[in-house]
Amino acid sequence: MPSPKARNTGGRSGSVPATATAAAGGNGRYEFMSLSRTPAHLLQRQGSDPTSARLRASESPTRRRGSGSSNASTSSTGGQQLPEEDCMRLNPSMIGIALSSLLAVDLWLSKRLGVCACEDSSWGNVRPLMKLVEISGHGIPWLIGTVYCLYKSDSAAGQEVMLNLLMALVLDMLLVGVVKAVVRRRRPAHNRMDMFASFSVDRYSFPSGHATRAAMCARFLLAHLVLAAPLRVLVLLWAAFVGLSRVLLGRHNVTDVAFGFFMGYCQYNLVEALWLSPGVLQSMMGQLE
């Protein structure tokens, strides 16, 4: 029979006897649980299952909140957060999505329009005609023709126009070569590298040098040569057909040609700003003599 002293001692301690007895285990140690941290429903069930009560008390919302905050502080101080680049990849911007979609449409449309890429294509029999159009927009024939016209010209006005056209062609080649070397976009996979007089930068696709040259020369001829209406229409059709032939032959993507037309249109404004006057022409011709 337990003595009253033992009962009074257990009541004054404020501990839970059943829990202390279950926690004693085999090592003889007692573990006491604070009543302020133990939920009421666990106190009611301590008599039946003290071990589960102690485990549930350890999983209380207070402990969970504490562990969550400690994990957050550990992750923030431990440097295990995702890098900013990875966060940007996980959350792409609308501009990136639009550019990716435009690139996919560009590649698909360019492949569908490359009907003259090789002899066994759907329009393979038109390939020789497309290659003639390609040569008509090449830089070497234009340079040779401009130098010949400059040499044969008798008037100062004609020499001035031809000299500025020669400067425009050289400027076009330099600018296109620089942009191609910087962008380094490969040509379409269905292209055959059998172009007329190609150079090292011609293995790149962006922008189309034929398109820039066609747009610039078309503006130059329409502005400085007196042409009849049918010839003016013919010049515009030639420029458009040169750009279309680049896609039909599989040489370029659609965006390469579109940007080439825009670049050639803007290059003419630069040529007008750098226009060589007759005085400069006379001094240059005097030095050549």
CA 159 and chain centroid, separation: 45
Locate the DSSP E strands across 200-270.
Answer: none
- Strand, helix or coil at 152? helix
Give me the catalytic one of 41, 138, 190, 210. 210
Q: Compute the distance between CA of residue 122 and CA of residue 115 in angstroms, rounded to an integer.
A: 6
* CA–CA dist 267, 215 (Å, integer): 9
Taking the mean position of all CA atoms in its chain, how far away is CA 262?
20
How many other C-beta atoms lie within 10 A of the C-beta of residue 181?
A: 11
Q: Is 252 a catalytic residue?
A: yes
- Reading the block at residue 77, the tokens are 């101080």
CA distance 240 to 180: 22
SS3 204: strand
Name the 3-class secondary structure at 225: coil
Q: What does the alpha-carbon distance between residue 271 and residue 221 come to, in Å, rounded to a whole number? A: 13
* Single-letter amino acid code for the residue at 199: F
Q: Which of 41, 138, 224, 252 is catalytic?
A: 252
Closest CA to 121 of 205, 207, 188, 206: 188
**Preceding amide of 207 cis, omega within 30:** yes
State both tokens at 114.
Answer: 């490359």
- Report which DSSP code applies to 274: T
* Residues forming the active site: 210, 252
